[in-house]
Amino acid sequence: MRCRIGVIAGDGIGPEIVREAVKVLDQVAVKYGHEFDYTELLLGGASIDVHGVPLTEETIQAAKACDAVLMGSIGGDAKTSPWYQLEPSRRPEAGLLGIRKALNLFANLRPAYLYEELRGACPLREDISAAGFDMLIMRELTGGLYFGARKTEVVDGVRTAVDTLSYNEQEIRRIAKRAFEIAMKRRRKVCSVDKANVLDSSRLWRKVVEEVAADYPQVELSHMYVDNCAMQLVMNPAQFDVILTENMFGDILSDEASMVTGSIGMLSSASLNDTRFGLYEPSHGSAPDIAGQDRANPIATILSAAMMLRYTFDLDKEADAVEAAVRQVLKEGFRTGDIRSEGCTCVGTAEMGSLIADRI
Protein backbone atom coordinates (compact mmCIF):
# COMPACT_ATOMS: atom_id res chain seq x y z
CA MET A 1 0.00 0.00 0.00
CA ARG A 2 1.19 3.52 -0.79
CA CYS A 3 0.52 6.03 1.97
CA ARG A 4 1.05 9.78 1.96
CA ILE A 5 1.86 10.83 5.48
CA GLY A 6 2.25 14.45 6.57
CA VAL A 7 4.75 14.85 9.38
CA ILE A 8 4.59 17.73 11.84
CA ALA A 9 7.68 17.43 14.02
CA GLY A 10 6.64 20.55 15.93
CA ASP A 11 8.31 22.03 18.99
CA GLY A 12 10.13 20.92 22.12
CA ILE A 13 10.56 17.15 22.17
CA GLY A 14 8.41 16.88 19.01
CA PRO A 15 11.22 16.34 16.47
CA GLU A 16 12.96 13.59 18.47
CA ILE A 17 9.83 11.58 19.26
CA VAL A 18 8.53 11.86 15.69
CA ARG A 19 11.90 10.64 14.39
CA GLU A 20 11.43 7.41 16.39
CA ALA A 21 7.86 6.93 15.19
CA VAL A 22 9.07 7.29 11.60
CA LYS A 23 11.82 4.76 12.34
CA VAL A 24 9.14 2.27 13.45
CA LEU A 25 6.92 3.07 10.44
CA ASP A 26 9.86 2.51 8.09
CA GLN A 27 10.35 -0.90 9.64
CA VAL A 28 6.65 -1.67 9.13
CA ALA A 29 7.02 -0.62 5.48
CA VAL A 30 9.94 -3.01 4.95
CA LYS A 31 8.39 -5.91 6.81
CA TYR A 32 4.91 -5.69 5.26
CA GLY A 33 5.78 -4.29 1.83
CA HIS A 34 4.27 -0.80 2.03
CA GLU A 35 5.49 2.53 0.78
CA PHE A 36 5.25 5.49 3.12
CA ASP A 37 5.90 8.92 1.57
CA TYR A 38 6.50 11.63 4.13
CA THR A 39 5.84 15.34 3.68
CA GLU A 40 7.21 17.67 6.35
CA LEU A 41 4.73 20.29 7.54
CA LEU A 42 5.24 23.31 9.77
CA LEU A 43 2.91 24.08 12.69
CA GLY A 44 3.09 25.92 15.99
CA GLY A 45 6.30 27.56 17.14
CA ALA A 46 8.28 26.03 14.28
CA SER A 47 5.93 27.78 11.86
CA ILE A 48 6.11 31.08 13.79
CA ASP A 49 9.90 31.00 13.49
CA VAL A 50 9.71 30.67 9.71
CA HIS A 51 6.48 32.46 8.73
CA GLY A 52 5.57 34.56 11.76
CA VAL A 53 2.27 32.69 12.19
CA PRO A 54 1.55 29.30 13.80
CA LEU A 55 -0.44 27.94 10.85
CA THR A 56 -0.28 28.83 7.17
CA GLU A 57 -2.64 28.09 4.31
CA GLU A 58 0.27 26.16 2.79
CA THR A 59 0.31 23.75 5.76
CA ILE A 60 -3.46 23.31 5.59
CA GLN A 61 -3.39 22.53 1.86
CA ALA A 62 -0.39 20.21 2.19
CA ALA A 63 -2.09 18.36 5.08
CA LYS A 64 -5.25 17.98 3.00
CA ALA A 65 -3.18 16.44 0.22
CA CYS A 66 -1.97 13.71 2.63
CA ASP A 67 -3.90 10.64 3.76
CA ALA A 68 -2.96 11.25 7.38
CA VAL A 69 -0.76 13.48 9.49
CA LEU A 70 1.56 12.34 12.25
CA MET A 71 2.41 15.05 14.76
CA GLY A 72 4.87 15.40 17.63
CA SER A 73 3.90 18.26 19.88
CA ILE A 74 3.67 22.01 19.68
CA GLY A 75 4.24 24.87 22.11
CA GLY A 76 7.04 26.11 24.33
CA ASP A 77 7.67 27.41 27.80
CA ALA A 78 5.11 30.19 28.26
CA LYS A 79 7.41 32.04 30.68
CA THR A 80 10.56 32.13 28.57
CA SER A 81 9.64 31.53 24.93
CA PRO A 82 9.23 34.63 22.69
CA TRP A 83 6.23 32.89 21.07
CA TYR A 84 4.22 33.86 24.14
CA GLN A 85 4.96 37.56 23.70
CA LEU A 86 2.64 37.38 20.69
CA GLU A 87 -1.08 37.96 21.00
CA PRO A 88 -3.06 34.74 21.77
CA SER A 89 -4.27 34.24 18.20
CA ARG A 90 -0.64 34.07 16.98
CA ARG A 91 0.73 31.68 19.58
CA PRO A 92 1.57 27.99 18.89
CA GLU A 93 -1.69 26.65 20.41
CA ALA A 94 -3.74 28.76 17.99
CA GLY A 95 -2.09 26.83 15.17
CA LEU A 96 -3.24 23.53 16.66
CA LEU A 97 -6.82 24.75 17.14
CA GLY A 98 -6.72 26.20 13.63
CA ILE A 99 -5.69 22.97 11.96
CA ARG A 100 -8.30 20.99 13.91
CA LYS A 101 -10.98 23.36 12.64
CA ALA A 102 -9.62 23.65 9.08
CA LEU A 103 -9.56 19.87 8.67
CA ASN A 104 -12.87 19.41 10.51
CA LEU A 105 -11.29 17.01 13.01
CA PHE A 106 -14.29 16.79 15.29
CA ALA A 107 -13.62 13.39 16.86
CA ASN A 108 -10.71 13.11 19.25
CA LEU A 109 -9.96 9.61 20.52
CA ARG A 110 -7.78 9.34 23.59
CA PRO A 111 -7.27 5.84 24.92
CA ALA A 112 -6.15 5.49 28.53
CA TYR A 113 -4.92 2.02 29.31
CA LEU A 114 -3.12 0.66 32.34
CA TYR A 115 -0.21 -1.48 31.15
CA GLU A 116 0.38 -4.55 33.27
CA GLU A 117 4.14 -3.80 33.20
CA LEU A 118 3.60 -0.22 34.36
CA ARG A 119 1.08 -0.91 37.09
CA GLY A 120 3.63 0.27 39.64
CA ALA A 121 3.51 3.77 38.13
CA CYS A 122 -0.26 4.08 38.70
CA PRO A 123 -0.80 6.66 41.47
CA LEU A 124 -4.05 5.03 42.61
CA ARG A 125 -4.46 2.77 45.63
CA GLU A 126 -3.36 -0.77 44.91
CA ASP A 127 -6.81 -2.31 45.28
CA ILE A 128 -8.02 0.09 42.58
CA SER A 129 -5.10 -0.34 40.18
CA ALA A 130 -5.29 -4.14 40.58
CA ALA A 131 -8.58 -4.10 38.64
CA GLY A 132 -6.79 -2.42 35.72
CA PHE A 133 -8.61 -0.21 33.23
CA ASP A 134 -8.95 0.28 29.51
CA MET A 135 -11.00 3.28 28.45
CA LEU A 136 -11.30 5.51 25.46
CA ILE A 137 -12.21 9.15 25.80
CA MET A 138 -14.12 10.41 22.78
CA ARG A 139 -13.80 14.17 22.95
CA GLU A 140 -15.67 16.56 20.67
CA LEU A 141 -12.88 18.71 19.21
CA THR A 142 -14.22 21.49 17.00
CA GLY A 143 -17.08 23.02 18.97
CA GLY A 144 -18.06 24.30 22.38
CA LEU A 145 -16.15 26.88 24.38
CA TYR A 146 -13.01 26.51 22.28
CA PHE A 147 -14.66 27.86 19.17
CA GLY A 148 -17.55 30.00 20.45
CA ALA A 149 -17.51 33.78 20.20
CA ARG A 150 -15.35 35.45 22.82
CA LYS A 151 -14.51 38.99 23.80
CA THR A 152 -12.96 41.02 26.53
CA GLU A 153 -14.32 44.49 27.11
CA VAL A 154 -14.96 47.09 29.73
CA VAL A 155 -18.61 47.25 30.73
CA ASP A 156 -19.57 50.19 32.95
CA GLY A 157 -15.94 50.56 33.99
CA VAL A 158 -15.61 46.85 34.85
CA ARG A 159 -13.33 44.57 32.83
CA THR A 160 -15.48 41.74 31.53
CA ALA A 161 -14.66 38.62 29.50
CA VAL A 162 -17.12 36.36 27.70
CA ASP A 163 -16.69 32.89 26.19
CA THR A 164 -19.60 31.13 24.52
CA LEU A 165 -20.48 27.45 24.88
CA SER A 166 -22.70 26.43 22.03
CA TYR A 167 -23.52 23.09 20.37
CA ASN A 168 -26.05 22.25 17.71
CA GLU A 169 -27.66 18.85 17.32
CA GLN A 170 -25.64 17.99 14.23
CA GLU A 171 -22.37 18.50 16.03
CA ILE A 172 -23.58 16.32 18.89
CA ARG A 173 -25.03 13.62 16.65
CA ARG A 174 -21.89 13.04 14.58
CA ILE A 175 -19.59 12.67 17.60
CA ALA A 176 -22.13 10.47 19.41
CA LYS A 177 -22.34 8.16 16.38
CA ARG A 178 -18.57 7.82 16.40
CA ALA A 179 -18.62 6.90 20.08
CA PHE A 180 -21.25 4.20 19.58
CA GLU A 181 -19.49 2.77 16.55
CA ILE A 182 -16.23 2.48 18.44
CA ALA A 183 -18.02 1.04 21.47
CA MET A 184 -19.37 -1.74 19.21
CA LYS A 185 -15.77 -2.82 18.61
CA ARG A 186 -14.92 -2.63 22.30
CA ARG A 187 -16.91 -3.58 25.40
CA ARG A 188 -20.14 -1.95 24.15
CA LYS A 189 -20.50 0.66 26.85
CA VAL A 190 -20.81 4.41 26.37
CA CYS A 191 -20.82 6.82 29.29
CA SER A 192 -21.86 10.28 28.12
CA VAL A 193 -20.49 13.00 30.36
CA ASP A 194 -22.21 16.37 30.68
CA LYS A 195 -23.44 19.00 33.12
CA ALA A 196 -27.11 18.65 32.32
CA ASN A 197 -28.12 19.75 35.81
CA VAL A 198 -26.91 23.26 34.92
CA LEU A 199 -26.18 23.82 31.22
CA ASP A 200 -28.60 24.03 28.29
CA SER A 201 -25.90 22.79 25.93
CA SER A 202 -25.61 19.67 28.11
CA ARG A 203 -29.37 19.10 28.17
CA LEU A 204 -29.41 19.11 24.37
CA TRP A 205 -26.29 16.91 24.38
CA ARG A 206 -28.08 14.32 26.53
CA LYS A 207 -31.23 14.31 24.36
CA VAL A 208 -29.33 13.88 21.11
CA VAL A 209 -27.06 11.17 22.55
CA GLU A 210 -30.20 9.28 23.60
CA GLU A 211 -31.64 9.59 20.09
CA VAL A 212 -28.43 8.20 18.60
CA ALA A 213 -28.36 5.40 21.19
CA ALA A 214 -31.67 4.10 19.82
CA ASP A 215 -29.77 2.95 16.71
CA TYR A 216 -27.30 0.96 18.81
CA PRO A 217 -29.41 -1.28 21.06
CA GLN A 218 -26.42 -3.54 21.77
CA VAL A 219 -24.56 -0.68 23.44
CA GLU A 220 -25.27 0.15 27.06
CA LEU A 221 -25.58 3.93 27.50
CA SER A 222 -25.18 5.76 30.79
CA HIS A 223 -24.98 9.46 31.64
CA MET A 224 -22.75 11.05 34.22
CA TYR A 225 -22.20 14.62 35.40
CA VAL A 226 -18.69 15.82 34.72
CA ASP A 227 -17.87 16.54 38.37
CA ASN A 228 -18.89 13.01 39.32
CA CYS A 229 -16.89 11.63 36.40
CA ALA A 230 -13.76 13.41 37.64
CA MET A 231 -14.28 11.59 40.93
CA GLN A 232 -15.14 8.20 39.42
CA LEU A 233 -11.96 8.27 37.31
CA VAL A 234 -9.85 7.99 40.44
CA MET A 235 -12.28 5.87 42.49
CA ASN A 236 -13.22 3.22 39.97
CA PRO A 237 -11.69 3.72 36.51
CA ALA A 238 -12.41 0.08 35.57
CA GLN A 239 -16.10 0.93 35.12
CA PHE A 240 -15.43 2.94 31.93
CA ASP A 241 -15.26 1.75 28.36
CA VAL A 242 -16.02 4.71 26.04
CA ILE A 243 -16.45 8.14 27.64
CA LEU A 244 -18.23 10.54 25.29
CA THR A 245 -17.99 14.21 26.09
CA GLU A 246 -17.78 17.79 24.80
CA ASN A 247 -14.59 19.68 24.05
CA MET A 248 -13.71 21.38 27.34
CA PHE A 249 -14.80 18.52 29.61
CA GLY A 250 -12.84 16.15 27.38
CA ASP A 251 -9.72 18.29 27.62
CA ILE A 252 -9.81 18.15 31.40
CA LEU A 253 -10.92 14.54 31.84
CA SER A 254 -8.41 13.20 29.32
CA ASP A 255 -5.53 14.72 31.27
CA GLU A 256 -6.91 13.16 34.43
CA ALA A 257 -7.38 9.78 32.77
CA SER A 258 -3.86 9.85 31.38
CA MET A 259 -2.39 10.73 34.74
CA VAL A 260 -4.03 7.79 36.48
CA THR A 261 -2.18 5.49 34.09
CA GLY A 262 0.93 6.99 35.67
CA SER A 263 2.60 7.30 32.30
CA ILE A 264 1.41 10.13 30.10
CA GLY A 265 4.41 9.34 27.88
CA MET A 266 2.56 6.20 26.75
CA LEU A 267 -0.74 7.66 25.57
CA SER A 268 -1.64 8.12 21.93
CA SER A 269 -4.46 10.02 20.29
CA ALA A 270 -6.27 10.38 17.00
CA SER A 271 -8.29 13.31 15.68
CA LEU A 272 -10.64 12.28 12.91
CA ASN A 273 -13.12 13.87 10.52
CA ASP A 274 -15.82 12.13 8.51
CA THR A 275 -13.38 10.79 5.93
CA ARG A 276 -10.54 8.36 6.62
CA PHE A 277 -8.15 11.26 7.21
CA GLY A 278 -6.72 11.65 10.70
CA LEU A 279 -4.22 13.70 12.68
CA TYR A 280 -2.33 11.47 15.08
CA GLU A 281 -0.37 12.79 18.02
CA PRO A 282 0.71 11.82 21.51
CA SER A 283 -1.56 13.04 24.32
CA HIS A 284 1.31 14.74 26.10
CA GLY A 285 2.79 18.16 25.47
CA SER A 286 6.10 19.42 24.12
CA ALA A 287 8.10 19.19 27.38
CA PRO A 288 10.52 21.99 26.45
CA ASP A 289 12.49 21.37 29.67
CA ILE A 290 13.85 18.07 28.35
CA ALA A 291 13.90 18.84 24.62
CA GLY A 292 16.94 17.73 22.66
CA GLN A 293 18.37 15.64 25.51
CA ASP A 294 17.37 12.16 24.29
CA ARG A 295 15.24 11.76 27.43
CA ALA A 296 11.71 11.92 26.04
CA ASN A 297 9.54 8.82 25.82
CA PRO A 298 8.70 8.20 22.14
CA ILE A 299 6.13 5.46 22.88
CA ALA A 300 3.02 7.69 22.81
CA THR A 301 4.01 8.90 19.35
CA ILE A 302 4.82 5.38 18.18
CA LEU A 303 1.41 4.21 19.44
CA SER A 304 -0.19 7.18 17.65
CA ALA A 305 1.45 5.93 14.46
CA ALA A 306 -0.15 2.54 15.21
CA MET A 307 -3.55 4.26 15.51
CA MET A 308 -2.87 5.86 12.12
CA LEU A 309 -2.19 2.46 10.57
CA ARG A 310 -5.44 1.17 12.07
CA TYR A 311 -7.88 4.04 11.54
CA THR A 312 -6.70 5.72 8.32
CA PHE A 313 -5.08 2.84 6.45
CA ASP A 314 -7.03 -0.14 7.80
CA LEU A 315 -3.73 -1.92 8.42
CA ASP A 316 -4.83 -3.79 11.54
CA LYS A 317 -2.13 -6.46 11.35
CA GLU A 318 0.58 -3.81 11.13
CA ALA A 319 -0.95 -1.78 13.97
CA ASP A 320 -1.10 -4.94 16.11
CA ALA A 321 2.58 -5.56 15.35
CA VAL A 322 3.58 -2.09 16.55
CA GLU A 323 1.55 -2.43 19.75
CA ALA A 324 2.96 -5.90 20.37
CA ALA A 325 6.52 -4.60 19.86
CA VAL A 326 5.90 -1.89 22.47
CA ARG A 327 4.60 -4.45 24.96
CA GLN A 328 7.53 -6.75 24.21
CA VAL A 329 10.08 -4.01 24.91
CA LEU A 330 8.35 -3.21 28.21
CA LYS A 331 8.26 -6.89 29.10
CA GLU A 332 11.99 -7.11 28.46
CA GLY A 333 12.43 -4.36 31.05
CA PHE A 334 13.42 -1.37 28.91
CA ARG A 335 12.16 2.00 30.13
CA THR A 336 12.66 5.68 29.40
CA GLY A 337 13.25 7.89 32.43
CA ASP A 338 9.60 8.90 32.91
CA ILE A 339 8.48 5.29 33.45
CA ARG A 340 11.63 3.86 35.03
CA SER A 341 11.35 1.48 37.94
CA GLU A 342 13.79 -0.59 39.94
CA GLY A 343 15.57 -3.37 38.10
CA CYS A 344 14.67 -1.99 34.66
CA THR A 345 17.09 -0.88 31.95
CA CYS A 346 16.88 2.85 31.39
CA VAL A 347 17.29 3.90 27.75
CA GLY A 348 17.10 7.15 25.79
CA THR A 349 14.61 8.27 23.16
CA ALA A 350 16.53 6.98 20.13
CA GLU A 351 17.36 3.62 21.67
CA MET A 352 13.74 3.07 22.71
CA GLY A 353 12.70 3.72 19.10
CA SER A 354 15.30 1.27 17.79
CA LEU A 355 14.34 -1.44 20.29
CA ILE A 356 10.70 -1.20 19.19
CA ALA A 357 11.56 -1.09 15.47
CA ASP A 358 13.78 -4.19 15.90
CA ARG A 359 10.81 -6.13 17.29
CA ILE A 360 8.45 -5.43 14.37
Contact residues: ligand IPM, CB under 6 A? 93, 96-97, 251
Pick the catalytic residue: 163, 200, 215, 227? Answer: 227
Is the CB of residue 261 less than 8 Å from the CB of residue 88? no
- Nearer to ligand IPM among residue 43 and residue 302 (C-beta): 43
Within the chain, where are the H helices? 14-32, 45-51, 57-64, 92-102, 126-129, 169-184, 200-213, 226-235, 247-260, 299-311, 316-331, 349-358
Is the CB of residue 269 less than 8 Å from the CB of residue 304? yes
DSSP class of residue 322 equals H
- Minimum distance from residue 212 beta carbon to Mg ion (Å): 25
Tell me, yes or no, if 317 is annotated catalytic: no
Count of residues near Mg ion by CB under 5 A: 1
- Nearer to ligand IPM among residue 128 and residue 252 (C-beta): 252
Pick the catalytic residue: 11, 67, 195, 311? Answer: 195
The residue at minimum Cβ distance from ligand IPM is 93
Pick the catalytic residue: 115, 146, 167, 216? Answer: 146
Comparing CA positions, the residue from 75, 79, 25 lying closest to residue 47 is 75
- Nearer to ligand IPM among residue 266 and residue 357 (C-beta): 266
Residue 29 interacts with, from ligand IPM, Mg ion, none (CB under 5-8 Å by kind): none
- Sign of the CA dihedral 77, 82, 88, 93? negative
- Minimum distance from residue 251 beta carbon to ligand IPM (Å): 4
Choose one: 14-22, 111-119, 164-172, 243-251; the region binding Mg ion (CB under 5 A). 243-251
Residue 42 interacts with, from ligand IPM, Mg ion, none (CB under 5-8 Å by kind): none
Residue 96 interacts with, from ligand IPM, Mg ion, none (CB under 5-8 Å by kind): ligand IPM
356 three-class SS: helix
What span, in angstroms and rounded, lies between the C-alpha atoms of 316 and 318? 5
Tell me, yes or no, if 227 is annotated catalytic: yes
Task: Give the chain's length.
Answer: 360
Amino acid at 21: A
User: Applying CB under 5 A, does 251 fall inside the site for Mg ion?
Assistant: yes
Tell me, yes or no, if 311 is annotated catalytic: no
Tell me, yes or no, if 23 is annotated catalytic: no
- Minimum distance from residue 51 beta carbon to ligand IPM (Å): 19
Question: In Å, how far from its chain's centre is CA 180?
Answer: 19
- Nearer to Mg ion among residue 112 and residue 357 (C-beta): 112
Residue 344 interacts with, from ligand IPM, Mg ion, none (CB under 5-8 Å by kind): none
Tell me, yes or no, if 316 is annotated catalytic: no
What span, in angstroms and rounded, lies between the C-alpha atoms of 305 and 281? 8
Residue 11 interacts with, from Mg ion, ligand IPM, none (CB under 5-8 Å by kind): none
- Nearer to Mg ion among residue 129 and residue 269 (C-beta): 269
66's CB contacts (< 8 A; 6+ apart) are 4, 5, 6, 39, 277
- Minimum distance from residue 50 beta carbon to ligand IPM (Å): 20
- Minimum distance from residue 68 beta carbon to ligand IPM (Å): 17
Could you tell me the CA-to-CA distances from 67 to 39, 248, 275, 277 in Å, in that order?
11, 28, 10, 6
359's CB contacts (< 8 A; 6+ apart) are 324, 325, 328, 329
What span, in angstroms and rounded, lies between the C-alpha atoms of 350 and 346? 12
- Minimum distance from residue 252 beta carbon to Mg ion (Å): 8
- Nearer to ligand IPM among residue 99 and residue 302 (C-beta): 99
Where in the sequence numbering do the catalytic residues fall? Answer: 146, 195, 227, 251, 255
Residues of this chain that bind Mg ion (CB under 5 A): 251
